[in-house]
A and B are shown apart, each in its own frame.
Chain A
Amino acid sequence: MKLYRIVLKDIVRRKKRVLFAALGVAIGTMTVVGILTIALAGQEKIYNQLEKYGPNLAVMPAINNVDTQLGDLSLGTLAVGENYIPEEKLPEIRQIADGEIKAALGITDEGNIATLAPKLYVNTGVKGTSMMVVGVEPEEEIKIKTWWKIEEGKYIEGSDQVLVGAVAAKLLALNTGDTVDLNGNTVTVVGILEETGSNDDYQIFVPLETLQKAYGKEGLVSSIDIRALCNACPVEIIANAINQNITGVRAIAVKQVAEAEMGVLERMNKFMLALGGITLAVGLFGVVNTMMSSVNERIKDIGIMRAVGASRNQIMRVFIYEAIVIGIVGGIFGYVAGTLLAYVIGPIIFAGTDISFVLQYLPLSLALAIFVAIIATMYPALRATRVRVADSFRSL
């Protein structure tokens, strides 16, 4: 028989008291787990939004604006450089982007990781109105514009099919089935996009090759959007690598709006964790209090144990074992209650979040609860070991 079994037996006898102490620990743990669970769900939601923000990188032709002057007289700026990127640079760009991602994430398998969506912009007259017509690779484009929804019709499937932005469709009174003349080439409207609130609403999307042929821009694109498909992807590094290795192009890491949002979330997390810490500290006092009375009502038992040969360390161990049990019970309760708390409060803070049990918080919750319980037990236990054996009997 070991010391811990004596402790367990005693805990069974005093279950109510132990449960009460565990409750104190559980309340603190609950708050921390609740906050962490909500924060995680919020983070996931923002990550999801991040994904929707589209490209992480934009590659554009390198154009230098040179100020021209004659004496003191400014003659305006002159754009120097190509307006287009040759399509043959696409594989190079892909190689760099994939290479950097694989290096960053430690992926070794072949295959494409980043999505490259080349675009050709042509400003042209459509039905007598000046419109921006965008040549896209339909399959790649939809991977970047994940938020696109077709209001009417379907997505581009053939080379002579076009997709029209919501506002453009209204302006030009276009419906699915209508035909549009693009520099002598007839294409059919197969789908109209739902309004997105972005430039896409004013644009007409045509398969890249069709637009290139129609306007004699074969093998040329205006820009390439790159989506790295991971939030940890080193977009800045990719941009630098592209800029250093490929001439005639300029890669820009898109500063995501979401980054700011993440910052807000981070600050909020810190604030909430501070709150959780305070709750935990309050819980700690509760547990100290409970342990105090627990020690007091067991002064006699402690005296007995010491009279029959228990050392101060052994008495200390008795209380630490008890604290561990309190911590385990409190930690489990706290974990479950914290998740339930998140389930109730989470949707209020981040509308539309899915709260789920985060299993990896269970060990965290247990560790936290045991830590708190042990800390709370230290002082009462230390006091208990200081009581003279004779006094512990006399107090009765």
Chain B
Amino acid sequence: MLEVNNVSKIYGEGTAKVVALSDVYLRVNDGDFIAVMGPSGSGKSTLLNIIGGLDYPSSGEVILDGKRIDNLAENALVDVRRDKVAYVFQQYHLLPSLTALENVLLPLIFCGANGGSYKKAMDILKKVGLEKRAGPKPSELSGGEQQRVAIARALVNEPSLILADEPTGNMDRKTGGEILSLFEQLNKEGHGIIMITHDREIARQAKEIIVLQDGQIAGKINSEEGGGTINAKEKVV
């Protein structure tokens, strides 16, 4: 379970001060699929980075599986990234010099895993439908394929929570739809997902939609309840 309690993030000081997040409260149960929406600069990515320990909040706390992670030292955050959360980025962020398979192996290498790594990575590539595309480098793969590799890389350490920052943002509808169904499948298998998206159709697949505006949660929609309207400025505390 993930708790985000009164998290604020402020960049800069004085007149250059930018409030990226202001007093954000969020609760994500294990296995939840949450979509985060909002205009550019509303603080979506900042929120995701703070949840995953890629960035520190200015105030507030982030509790993951009962453990505060917002105040962890860098070395301790490494364990969070290895064991609990994984990222999928809009830009894929694959290492250009490595093959698809090697990119999937990367988390295992850093974990110091030995034995069975190749098989595990291959199995996961198969799961994302890329078992025949293990050899090429990212530059030789299509956008959809690259994102599948990135998803495979995220899955290889079996994280409880997958943080996806506009994973389909660079794709046409068809490819995006395929990637999305992959995420849905993963969600069914028990992975919690927090996904940033601009696409309302995609967001509709999520159990809950969080709308961010100017660093604040402007509304929450429970899609399963069929709510189509966003309760503007509804502050959830």
Contact = CB atoms under 8 A, between A and B. Distances in A.
Do these two chains interact?
Answer: yes
Contacts of B74: 312
Contacts of B107: 308-309
A6 interface: yes
B127 interface: no
A304 B111 contact: no
B106 A6 contact: yes
Most B C-beta atoms less than 10 A away, residue of A2, A310, A390, A391: A390
Given A1-B117, A390-B49, A308 B110 contact: yes
Contacts of A391: 55
Given A6-B102, A304-B93, A393-B89, A309 B54 contact: no
Most A C-beta atoms less than 10 A away, residue of B56, B96, B109: B109
B142 interface: no
Contacts of B78: 306, 309-312
A314 interface: yes
A310 B110 contact: yes
A305 interface: yes
B183 interface: no
A6 B99 CA distance: 10
Interface stretch (A9-17, A188-196, A267-275, A335-343): A9-17
A382 interface: no
Contacts of A301: 95-96
A49 to B, nearest CB: 56
B151 interface: no
Contact of B95 (A1, A2, A305, A389): A305
Interface in A294-308: 300-301, 303-308
A3 interface: yes
Interface stretch (B32-40, B79-87, B190-198): B79-87
Interface residues of B, number: 32
Interface residues of A, number: 28
A14 B102 CA distance: 18
A393 B45 CA distance: 11
Contacts of B82: 309
Given A308-B110, A314-B110, A388 B94 contact: no
Contacts of A314: 110
Contacts of B91: 393, 396
A388 B110 contact: no
A13 B95 CA distance: 11
Contacts of B109: 1-3, 6
Contact of B75 (A9, A12, A312, A396): A312
Contacts of B87: 307-308
Contact of A10 (B89, B97, B117): B97
B97 A308 contact: no
Given A1-B102, A390-B55, A307 B110 contact: no
B49 A13 contact: no
Contacts of B153: 308
B19 interface: no
B203 to A, nearest CB: 23
A305 B97 contact: no
A253 B152 CA distance: 81
B157 interface: yes
B105 interface: yes
